[in-house]
Chains A and B, each alone.
Chain A
Amino acid sequence: MVPSVEITSLSHQFSGQTVLNEVSLSIQPGEAVAIVGRNGAGKTTLVKHMNGLLHPHKGRILTCGLDTVGVSVAVLAQTVGFVFQNPDDQIFCRSVEQEIAWGPKHLGFPSAKIKKNVENAIAATGLNNMEKVNPLDLSLAKKKMLCLASVLAMDTGLLVLDEPTMGQDLAGKQRITSILDELKHQGKTVVAVTHDMDFCADIFERILVLEKGRLILDGTCEQLFNNPDFQTRGGILPPQVWQLGQKLGLAPTPWTAAQLLERLHTNTPAAPANRVEKRKTP
């Protein structure tokens, strides 16, 4: 099977300063991968290589088997959808509806499919009744949701999301979690840059930690949260659930609320048999 992303010894510089240094990794179809690290570690620079917005100064990147240097961003857009960190860098149409339809329209989808994809994307992101609104009048959270909707409507096999939960309130975060759950269920590949460790713990099986342009960990939540060295170097604080689990001496340490409650329940014979919904098992 062709990997969704195959990176070999990739380096990149800005104004002579190395921001990515010999990064190598491979992401298989259907994987959900989070990229974390301190501000300026190179996270956004790395993902911008995945849809050809940036080209490596050294090394090579293949996205869905295509060498990003040899093809245009427009061609890559058929296989990779990209949500920018700053929505103002992405949005340019005069209405929410036009913005979401722009991608599938320029991918050459038939009009019936465009209409269906736009409707589905609006429903998934909760932008109902805002179809005619000018995107510039939306809040930051709604703009971010619009950017995600625009990419969902393109129906690509690989989605790259830069800080998807930024600016979202509780309901927005829950909605994004549910969208990503559905994408995983559909077998799509999801790569997300994030600082939100609760979100990381809820969704992603695989975590990449960058430090000063170098990949210092390619592993699991458990490996990251159990290793203070990686946390310090990556500027990471484990989720509050994890810290609570450690304070309570639960082993293995849970990283979601459901896991923690289930472990507490298991350790308490007299507790009532409330069912705890399980999302992910470490």
Chain B
Amino acid sequence: MAFVDIENLSYTYPLGDAPALDAVDLRIEPGEFTVIMGCDGAGRSTLCRVVAGLIPRVFGGELTGRVTIGKGPDRVRPGFVFDNPFNQFSGAKFTVAEELAFGMENLGIDRQTMETRIEEVMALVEIKGIEDRDPSTLSGGQAQRVALASILVMEPELLVLDEPASQLDPVGAREILKLIKKVNLRGVTIVMAVQTMAHLTNLADTIVVLDQGKVVDTGSPRSVLTSRAMGDYGVEVPRVTTIARQARTMGLFHGDTLPISLDGVEKGFSNGSLG
């Protein structure tokens, strides 16, 4: 049985005029790394909230269809990382360390385990040294790392992330995405909404593309990102892919398939252009 099984799901927010999700079918296997893409308003955050169990419980609204999350009869506790970390912070804690402990306290985890996990995760996401800072005074990037850390300490089996690197510097973003892949390789199922795949092409197993609440494409990063239709859906594909496509029409790219990363890309361009 799939870890996440969504069948014919439609959802409209309270006071919403149109469905945010429209007849969505989605299956995610245990341990899979799934990326959700689409333009602004396509339904990426909404789908993340459904998978994390926040819709309709927290947001209300009208949901039809079937959503099953978990292995067989055992439901799992997903972890959800917000796109705006300041919306995620509890607001009840005055230091980063207390914020990291907040979720575990509510799960009834013992103090010794909490301290060990906080120590490990702070090292993992590289936020050591800011334990005593007030979360509300952190920079956007620091806050995003703390938001991720506060979920990782709870050791979720399913990690749902809504734009987890949008406020990070480029090197920091690459490191965090590698870290999320590391977590995935430990067996955690990942569902992540992003705007751009520039650093992700070697990380994800599957890309799901949404447009106006509907799933319009699903497949491997290569099959999805090299599809000509991505432009119609407003999806930002790696620049190397768009350049190669344009170069091909100008007779300057001769590779069999369009590249989605820089690995070995020069071969396609070298025939006939610089050669």
- Which A residues lie at the B interface, using CB under 8 A? 14-15, 36-40, 44, 85-86, 88, 137, 139-142, 163, 166-173, 195, 197-198, 232, 234-237, 239-241, 243-244, 247-249, 257, 260-261, 264-265, 267-268, 270-272, 274
Contact = CB atoms under 8 A, between A and B. Distances in A.
A264 B195 contact: no
Contact of A237 (B86, B170, B265): B170
Given A240-B262, A257-B239, A264-B273, A86 B169 contact: no
User: Which 4 pairs of residues, A with B, have the shortest CB-CB distance?
Assistant: A39-B141, A235-B169, A237-B170, A170-B236
Contact of A44 (B139, B145, B239): B139
Contacts of A243: 262
Interface range, B side: 35 or more
A168 B252 contact: no
B137 interface: yes
A167 B41 CA distance: 11
Contact of A248 (B45, B235, B236, B274): B274
A57 to B, nearest CB: 16
B243 interface: yes
B250 interface: yes
Contacts of A264: 247, 250, 252, 269, 273-274
Contacts of A15: 133, 137
Contacts of A240: 198, 238-240, 262
Contact of A141 (B40, B137, B262): B40
B234 A169 contact: yes
A268 B169 contact: no
Contact of B173 (A163, A169, A195): A195
A195 B274 contact: no
Interface of B: 15, 38-41, 45, 83-84, 86-87, 133, 137, 139-142, 145, 163, 166-174, 195, 198, 234-236, 238-240, 242-243, 246-247, 249-252, 262, 265-266, 269-270, 272-274
Nearest to A39: B141
Given A139-B40, A169-B40, A248-B270, A40 B142 contact: yes
Contacts of B272: 268, 270
Given A86-B140, A244-B240, A260-B243, A169 B39 contact: yes
A14 B137 CA distance: 9
A55 to B, nearest CB: 17
B170 A235 contact: yes
B251 A270 contact: yes
Contacts of B15: 137
Given A39-B141, A167-B166, A249-B274, A271 B269 contact: no
Contacts of B38: 169
Contact of B139 (A40, A167, A249): A40
B246 to A, nearest CB: 6
B169 A38 contact: yes
A197 B234 contact: no
A257 B252 CA distance: 13
Contacts of A40: 139, 141-142
24 contacts: A38-B172, A39-B142, A139-B41, A170-B234, A172-B40, A195-B173, A197-B170, A236-B171, A241-B243, A243-B262, A244-B240, A244-B262, A249-B274, A257-B243, A257-B246, A261-B247, A264-B252, A264-B274, A267-B274, A268-B273, A270-B251, A271-B251, A272-B250, A274-B250
Given A39-B141, A261-B247, A167 B170 contact: no
Contacts of B239: 198, 239-241, 244, 257
Nearest to B163: A167
A65 B98 CA distance: 44
B250 A261 contact: yes
A37 B169 contact: yes
A207 to B, nearest CB: 13
B236 A169 contact: yes
Contacts of A88: 84, 86-87
Nearest to A250: B274
A170 B39 contact: yes
Contacts of A85: 140, 167
Contacts of B86: 86, 88
Most buried by A among B15, B139, B266, B274: B139
